[in-house]
Structure 1
């Protein structure tokens, strides 16, 4: 029995000693930034003790600090159950949000508010709540852009941040890695290059950067090439050597004497302990944008801008401001020549972790931030936008579900469907009015088409069948003018509105719609009277009635269409009442008609008012009201044609 007790104690002692050493080892790994190793160590402890608070704490924080907060949710959940705090609930909310579990994230953020009185923490938590609500209203910035995983270029490790310069694509990749990055267990990255033409990449020719040698045992990533191709800037860091720089920094290489110089540390880094990465040049190369966690910003990582000096170096970096930067992280800037500024952020309303955004001016000139939408963004990290043909084609990087492994390179293209085309083919037939017979074909009439801005849109002479054909646009207004020597010119309005099918119902790319219209011209003969129909006056009155004004407006149009003619406008009465009275009444009526026409913009010297009373009866000895109506008429005749 004693021997059994001895061995039991010994086994327990060894187990405790082993557990303690594993815990100490895990803490050392965590404190030195070897987060993946710390996760592995504390996972062994949780296997035997699932409620171990320290183990859950370290694993949760290791996932968060190595940009894998979506994996931290079950460990934060353990912490809030055992000992709820603001930090645990807030970070649980972030983890759930990264998994697109928005309702659960809202609940966690609301609970977090109950564990603090700090106004800064409360404000940040409220910002997260509002951001989740705003996500529901996000619209696709480019609805028809389609994203495709570039499987031929990607590997099972990290591949990301491509840029294209002078027929080459440069990108970051974990292929040919010499070791693992202890923070997240992924392969160390190098910069690679391959031939490229737009989106087409010679994937079989991808090779390590030839301009200068990639270093072993650290990460080299996120390259930027100046517009002239003579400057390369990239991020370098995460070395395991105590003799190396303590933090990721920007390095630069210049083209000199037929080759690129050995990369050197850039002054814009300012401090070796500050993290600086994701560089990008402005379109003209005069400015350098990058991300940094230096003090004085608005959150974890902010975007900065440095302007090139006369000596070729870049000056002191300036924060791009709180409209773009948030309490979260902003990275991978991409400024465009048109003033639009693309970037990635987990601080603006989005779908999960890093999303792609654009800052642009609205109609009032104010800068607004827009999420690019679901066809670009996912619940995972989406970043490193680069255009090969702005804004129709380019690349992004993402570690979204469905990829080949870690970060993958995706290409996108504008797949906006070709617009369906409707051609309206209008046949205009010109005819001449023939007394007592059907209208006859009038050939060689000049027909001119004008658009709604009075700009000529076509013109031709009618053929032997009297036809002229025009191609019109749908849903538009036009004016057609027909003229021929010896005839009154005539203009008519024409519209294609409501005369074409709904474009959404069309199947063919091009649909032709044929329409017809006819213009009838009257012969222009001096001193031949033409009766104006429906010109009525109230009994014994000369004022122009509304219905008469409509008919007189037609004469106004004839005068506008035929600016070379001068007319006599005459009024006739029936034989009832005395001669003198009828003569006076007809003259007043004729003058009223002329005055109305002048009020519509026709020159007074083109008009003569003449009252004939009952001196020119058409039906002598009229007895019926119908016969009197024929005698009561208003006429016009051309009395002069100016050359």
Structure 2
């Protein structure tokens, strides 16, 4: 499982005793994390006649395999270490996991029991006890799902490692160390890069493989586990450091790149990356508002945990938080993926599982999180991870399972769920149209409404009735984000996104062979306050005020600026100047000009964060040079002077498209 070559540093186990120079050389390589190279040197030390230290040497060879994530290969060396009388450094505990990784569950349980009885590490004793209970209850997980068919993608896989598949534009992008020029000493394999797989026709395991992008793939760096925004213009992926001590970031971190003029921009470290922690396995949610990733940063529950960041109003990833103890354990949780129906899939070796990493699904119902092992054939005694869906019934995942069709270390497998549909559900969308009012919104009739699918296609049109009600007739696809476009004379055009992810009814809750479900959405239209504005004339935006001596966008101001955003989106050829004005109290002319410039810039930044091209809007600070109320005295009069204005610069020049 070479995905962990992006993962962790070696553990140094210190001891002092007389031994050969070859063994000392092997230990140095081991301590530097050069595990694959160290294996050969340890084996040489054994051949040189270190038979009296055979137990210790075999233990270290086993550790090299374990720490380079090939624990199933460590098992015979742990066995020989124990047979030679070596019982130090929790070898019994590691031997138990190696046995489990090879599907030898009864023997593994016996070793876990032995460690639980006599082991010295309290945390490992607790894990051993948990594993004993897990193995007792493995039977349901070992039952094959009758309707799940799994196929090795032989045309995609090589004798090297392929893993972490993700869809991008009709392509399957994945990680591999094939064709690498440099060898990574920890595993003896090449550095990982990103590749893509051109899927052809209906045979999802028939196609051609090409390198993803040479600007993204750098020599002597690992690149892995990409994720893409819904519009395909943003990519986030994991990249290792170069190993140089002077680097600011000393671990694996998240990088972001944007598609500009059909070229990917130079990747930059995502600011939410922790400088001294491992951050990888990113996954953007279907609605684009949440980024999930794995990290061993402080504040977790042990090993790697799954964390999330949310996108703020400026389009930046922020507010990082841990998913909590229902999802995360003292083991490792990684490779998250959020399906269109809002289920979180992830890999874990801490939850009850069949072997190493197993694939789990987390669902939320009535505020409670349920974690379920997906069982066979998704999981095996080996590592199974990085599941992704192409549609609700088909997808891919990664595994280093010992199967007849396995081609290398990690392979990518295709799955199809042929479970027959037991009950049919038809989903429809209906709702109510309102006119926005300061005190209470009013029902709005005769609103023209259109339903747009995620491909930008208009699939239905209707009008609101006398009490503001409307209904679209086409059946909805679940996991798709639709857009409702609402229009009425003298009102601003309103667009409302309606994601269906997470709104699917559980089959277990259905009682009829066929059920109609009507989902609800509201649209709120505001009066077109910009109607009749002429080029070259200044217009005051009402209710956009600032606190005294401040330039922050208040909540009430943001609501009004949203109307300007709607106006600009509906009139894509218009360019405006946004002006900010201050009152004149106790400040110099220069200070007021500077303050008004800050206010104007804050308003423009807010508008740009909503998707308006910055070329369409200019910020200008007028200070107190154009007061509405001359010689203002009351606070109300001063606040009227602290206003925001717009000035139409032109309305005919061709401009770039909005994002």
Structure 1 length-normalised TM: 0.58
Aligned counterpart, 2:382:
380
Task: After TM superposition, give the deviation of residue 142 of structure 1 in Å.
Answer: 5.7
Distance 1:379 1:322, change over 3 A: same
Could you say which structure has the larger radius of gyration? 1
Task: After TM superposition, give the deviation of residue 203 of structure 1 in Å.
Answer: 6.0
Q: Is 1:254 matched up with 2:258?
A: yes
Distance 1:238 1:94, change over 3 A: farther
Aligned counterpart, 1:29:
29
Q: What is the correspondence of 1:414-429 to structure 2 with a 5 Å cutoff?
A: 414-416=417-419
Task: After TM superposition, give the deviation of residue 90 of structure 1 in Å.
Answer: 1.2
Separation (CA, whole Å) in 2 of partners of 1:278 and 1:322: 19
Task: After TM superposition, give the deviation of residue 304 of structure 1 in Å.
Answer: 0.7
Q: Is 1:336 matched up with 2:347?
A: no
Q: What is the correspondence of 1:283-432 to structure 2 with a 5 Å cutoff?
A: 283-361=286-364, 366-390=368-392, 392-402=393-403, 403-416=406-419
Deviates more, 1:304-313 or 1:235-244: 235-244
Distance 1:53 1:141, change over 3 A: closer
- Residues 321-346 of structure 1 show CA distances to partners (whole Å, capped at 9, x for unaligned) of 11111111111101123232111111
Task: After TM superposition, give the deviation of residue 417 of structure 1 in Å.
Answer: 6.2
Q: CA RMSD in A?
A: 2.5
Distance 1:242 1:40, change over 3 A: farther
- Residues 479-514 of structure 1 show CA distances to partners (whole Å, capped at 9, x for unaligned) of xxxxxxxxxxxxxxxxxxxxxxxxxxxxxxxxxxxx
Distance 1:38 1:61, change over 3 A: same
Task: After TM superposition, give the deviation of residue 393 of structure 1 in Å.
Answer: 0.2
Deviates more, 1:234-243 or 1:406-415: 234-243
Q: Secondary structure at 1:294's aligned position in 2?
A: coil
Separation (CA, whole Å) in 2 of partners of 1:84 and 1:23: 19
- Residues 446-476 of structure 1 show CA distances to partners (whole Å, capped at 9, x for unaligned) of xxxxxxxxxxxxxxxxxxxxxxxxxxxxxxx
Q: Is the 8 A contact 1:73 1:95 kept in 2?
A: yes
Task: After TM superposition, give the deviation of residue 21 of structure 1 in Å.
Answer: 2.7
Q: Secondary structure at 1:162's aligned position in 2?
A: strand
Alignment size in residue pairs: 399
Task: After TM superposition, give the deviation of residue 49 of structure 1 in Å.
Answer: 3.0
Separation (CA, whole Å) in 2 of partners of 1:199 and 1:177: 31
Distance 1:21 1:316, change over 3 A: farther
Q: Secondary structure at 2:309's aligned position in 1?
A: strand
Aligned counterpart, 1:495:
none
Aligned counterpart, 1:267:
271
Q: What is the correspondence of 1:543-554 to structure 2 with a 5 Å cutoff?
A: none
Aligned counterpart, 1:592:
none
Q: Secondary structure at 1:137's aligned position in 2?
A: helix
Separation (CA, whole Å) in 1 of partners of 2:216 and 2:109: 48
Task: After TM superposition, give the deviation of residue 114 of structure 1 in Å.
Answer: 2.4
Q: Secondary structure at 2:127's aligned position in 1?
A: helix
Specify which of 169, 187, 191 is matched with residue 188 of structure 1.
191
- Residues 42-75 of structure 1 show CA distances to partners (whole Å, capped at 9, x for unaligned) of 1212233344344223222222211111222233
Q: Is the 8 A contact 1:217 1:240 kept in 2?
A: no
Q: Which runs of 5+ in 1 are unaligned?
A: 1-17, 420-643
Q: Secondary structure at 2:376's aligned position in 1?
A: coil
Q: Is 1:62 matched up with 2:56?
A: no
Q: Secondary structure at 2:198's aligned position in 1?
A: strand
Q: Is the 8 A contact 2:71 2:101 kept in 1?
A: yes
Q: Which runs of 5+ in 2 are unaligned?
A: 1-17, 423-659
Q: Is the 8 A contact 1:139 1:372 kept in 2?
A: no
Distance 1:370 1:102, change over 3 A: same
Aligned counterpart, 1:223:
226
Q: Is 1:235 matched up with 2:211?
A: no
Separation (CA, whole Å) in 1 of partners of 2:242 and 2:157: 24
Distance 1:256 1:347, change over 3 A: same
Separation (CA, whole Å) in 1 of partners of 2:32 and 2:139: 40
Separation (CA, whole Å) in 2 of partners of 1:69 and 1:26: 19
Q: Secondary structure at 1:40's aligned position in 2?
A: helix
Task: After TM superposition, give the deviation of residue 22 of structure 1 in Å.
Answer: 1.7
Q: What is the correspondence of 1:61-100 to structure 2 with a 5 Å cutoff?
A: 61-81=63-83, 82-85=85-88, 87-100=90-103
Structure 2 length-normalised TM: 0.57
Deviates more, 1:407-416 or 1:69-78: 69-78
Q: Is the 8 A contact 1:351 1:379 kept in 2?
A: yes
